[in-house]
A and B are shown apart, each in its own frame.
Chain A
Amino acid sequence: MRSQPSNPLETEVAGLRLRNPTMLASGILGTTSDILRRAAQSGAGAVVTKSVGPKPREGYPNPTVVEVGCGLLNAVGLPNPGIQAFAEEIRDLGDLEVPLIVSVYGFSPEEYAEVAEAAVEAGADAVELNLSCPHVKGAGADVGSRPELVSEIVERVKGVVDKPVFAKLTPNVSDIVGLAEAAVEAGADALTAINTLRAMAIDVETARPILSNRIGGLSGPAIKPVAVRCVYELHRELDVPIIGCGGVTSWRDAVEFMLAGASAVQVGTAVALKGLNIFRLITEGVKSYLERKGYGSVREIVGLSHRG
């Protein structure tokens, strides 16, 4: 038996100890060591980097981020300096006060493994596999929508790293549970759900798609109910920690995700809505909720909505 943590917000995901259940989502500011450190100092329980691949990539031309009222549409196109240059930023964060999770993508299972290995070597506490990488060779769809590819990627990565591996799932499939099962059977230590939903915006005055890539991913409040449903289904069917992501903008949203089965939540778009202080706002709100409801630890509410 382990004793009750004195900090009611402290929790654990796949062996990573978090001082609170909030994380900075991938692709949100995580481009440099300085800004990741600032996110940690702003109160995040863990930080996830921008997705990094094997080679430098410029991303798509602007417009890359569009306001759609209920959320944001983005097609930034995974700009990143490549793992070799990014390893310098990771090494710079050796003294970070919270776990550092490096988000990894590739265009083949080998590339995922190569990047993940280098990330862990540089000091990552865990890796999160961005399985929503577009334009995989041969296939038109995201890598992450094909269970056999997901399984191969996770297996390869698990074979070369000794740190927790999170599989970040795309909601753009008819059966997210099937996808998750493939990841878990291949050894994923946790699931992050969800990435953005494929979406589009067209300007009526000029009759043109606004994003330069035409199609992008929807995030923010608009996708929260979809994300909560995904987390709920995953928790019901699988025995693996889940990190909820999608539209978390307040402590209420965070609690809702945890009741659905999330051990922690990631925050993306709300950093634009409420600034970096969002992590403090959420954790303070969750803490008051726990006190008001008489819970000693945030862990007690994980999956609570599933009870009979």
Chain B
Amino acid sequence: MSAYPTEVNRMRIVEIKAVKDENLNVKTIFFEDDLCSSAEAGQFVMVWIPGVDEIPLTLSSIGSRSKDGLSSVTVAEVGEATRALRGMEAGELIGVRGPFGNHFETVSRGGRALVVGGGIGMASLMPLIERLVENDVETTVLFGVKSRSNLLFMERLGELSAQGRIRLLVTTEDGTYGAEGLVTEAAEKVLSSGRFDVVYSCGPEAMMYKIFGLAEKLGIPVQLSLERIIRCAIGICGSCVVGPYRVCRDGPIFTSDRLRVIRDFGRFRRDFNGRKTPI
């Protein structure tokens, strides 16, 4: 009867099965949930930290595709809710609704993909990378962080790289790991020296805006994951709008044709009260 499955929006209370510190500021939280198990790469969930807040987090692993059948979110501490969540341990309860939104579309077998992640943005790209590799897409991953201590998912990425299933390039702003500089500089070089069918990216919007500009010049389609304030997550409250689209329902993944019509992209976002604030 309905295009919008109310089942997905029902809040499930799940127990945290395991946690993993990715670095000093980032933690992955594993849980079991049937609906999340069948999610697609790039989709997000609303995580309720009882008594604190409810926040959007991308699935950093998807149960049906992980060895232990667990799904996960990976959270970077930036404020009250993320601090509370990062402090939680196995056995504690959280609420989960979702998965919500659209997802990354993988290119066809034999295609060539460039994946550009900035910091915690890598969380939403991990399931995508694993999917691309499964589909025999020739995948180059650029991962930029401030400093060596901000790296995350290096086991998962390192393994794929060691097996020769992805080409991995890491950049740090201070040169403490990989190449010194910004990931956008690395992207510019890689894009000019190779042919790509698609560019995927998730990270700070200023970074993605730059990546979009580079790809546009070369005529390569992009799929970027945008962030805005999420309240309802089901496309009715209007807090997440960018141009004529809703991040929670039409996004969070945006393709080049849509990005071209979003006047706000790379320029401003809406605050909790709906006022424009510069990116």
The residues of A with any CB-CB pair to B shorter than 8 Å are 27-32, 34-35, 37-38, 50, 56-59, 61-67, 69, 74, 76, 79-82, 85-86, 203, 205-206, 208, 210, 212, 268-269, 271-275
Contact = CB atoms under 8 A, between A and B. Distances in A.
Contact of A76 (B9, B97, B231, B235): B231
Contact of B236 (A59, A63, A205, A272): A272
Contacts of B93: 205-206
Contacts of B55: 62
Given A62-B54, A67-B97, A81 B235 contact: no
Most buried by A among B2, B11, B237, B246: B237
B273 A57 contact: yes
Given A28-B238, A65-B237, A67-B6, A35 B95 contact: no
Given A66-B11, A69-B10, A203-B95, A79 B236 contact: no
Nearest to A29: B238
A212 to B, nearest CB: 8
Contacts, number: 130
A79 B13 contact: no
A61 B235 contact: no
A38 B242 CA distance: 12
B44 to A, nearest CB: 14
A274 B3 contact: yes
A291 B239 CA distance: 40
A85 B11 CA distance: 35
Given A62-B55, A205-B13, A34 B97 contact: no
B270 A32 contact: yes
A56 B10 contact: no
A275 B3 contact: yes
Given A61-B53, A82-B273, A203-B13, 16 more contacts: A29-B246, A31-B270, A31-B274, A50-B238, A56-B273, A64-B231, A67-B9, A67-B10, A82-B275, A206-B13, A206-B93, A208-B51, A271-B236, A272-B9, A273-B2, A274-B3
Contacts of B70: none
Given A28-B238, A62-B55, A67-B97, A210 B11 contact: yes
A236 B275 CA distance: 43
Interface of B: 2-4, 6, 9-11, 13, 46, 48, 50-51, 53-55, 93, 95, 97, 231-239, 241, 243-244, 246, 263, 270-276
A271 B273 contact: no
Main secondary structure of the interface of B (DSSP, over half): loop
B232 A64 contact: yes
B244 A34 contact: yes
A271 B235 contact: yes
Contacts of A268: 236
A80 B272 CA distance: 8
Contacts of B6: 67, 69, 273
Nearest to A204: B13
A275 B243 contact: no
Contacts of B273: 56-59, 79-82
A62 B49 CA distance: 10
Contact of A79 (B2, B51, B53, B274): B274
A203 B55 CA distance: 17
Contacts of A273: 2-4, 6
Nearest to A249: B2
A71 to B, nearest CB: 9
Contacts of A81: 271, 273-275
Contacts of A37: 244
Contacts of B95: 63, 203, 206, 210
A29 B48 contact: no
B236 A28 contact: yes
Contact of A35 (B3, B238, B271, B275): B238
Contact of A64 (B9, B51, B237): B237
Which are the 9 A-B pairs with shortest beta-carbon distances? A31-B238, A62-B54, A65-B232, A205-B13, A67-B9, A38-B244, A29-B238, A81-B275, A272-B234
